[in-house]
């Protein structure tokens, strides 16, 4: 497959099975973080995303939980920070459903800046507002 076709496939997969997140990290710095992820019970598609964009794949299946006998294990592919930004920029022309989230995530990267550098009160307030907008866009249901 050519590069454009692979990007279109990946964007469709992210539109259907993915999430674009912008959150505040816990801990001492309380810095902000952007993340791109996709979950599926078939690891092959997630392996293709990893081959295309990097990131990591982890199992979501917890053997201690009492899943029904018909449940399949789930996997999650994710990338964050600069890698998420690069991936979103590559997918942007092809995204339909997640386009608003992608635009918002790229906007937030302009304000996140250098890791662990103290942000002004105005920047903190703006980032919190942008984070609220992202949560609204990602909200399930009505």
pLDDT in tens, 104-137: 998 887 776 555 556 677 877 877 787 787 777 7
DSSP state of 32: E
Domain that holds residue 70: 3-138
pLDDT in tens, 15-35: 999 999 887 666 555 567 789
Model pTM score: 0.80
16: CATH:
3.10.28.10
37 CB burial (10 A radius; 0-12, 13-18, 19+)? buried
Comparing CA positions, the residue from 23, 54, 15, 34 lying closest to residue 110 is 34
Domain count, the chain: 1
Q: Is the pLDDT of residue 92 over 60?
A: yes
């Amino acid at each position: 497959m050519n590069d454009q076709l692979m990007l279109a496939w990946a964007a469709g997969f992210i539109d259907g099975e993915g999430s674009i997140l912008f959150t505040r990290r816990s801990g001492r710095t309380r810095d902000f973080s952007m993340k791109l992820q996709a979950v599926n019970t078939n690891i092959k598609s997630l392996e293709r995303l990893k081959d295309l964009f990097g990131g990591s794949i982890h199992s979501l299946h917890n053997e201690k939980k009492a899943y029904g006998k018909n449940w399949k294990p789930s996997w999650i592919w994710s990338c964050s920070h600069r890698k998420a930004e690069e991936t979103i920029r590559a997918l942007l022309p092809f995204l339909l459903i997640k386009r608003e989230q992608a635009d918002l995530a790229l906007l937030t990267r302009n304000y996140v800046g250098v890791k662990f550098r103290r942000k002004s009160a105005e920047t903190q307030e703006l980032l919190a507002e942008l984070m609220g907008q992202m949560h609204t866009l990602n909200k399930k249901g009505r």
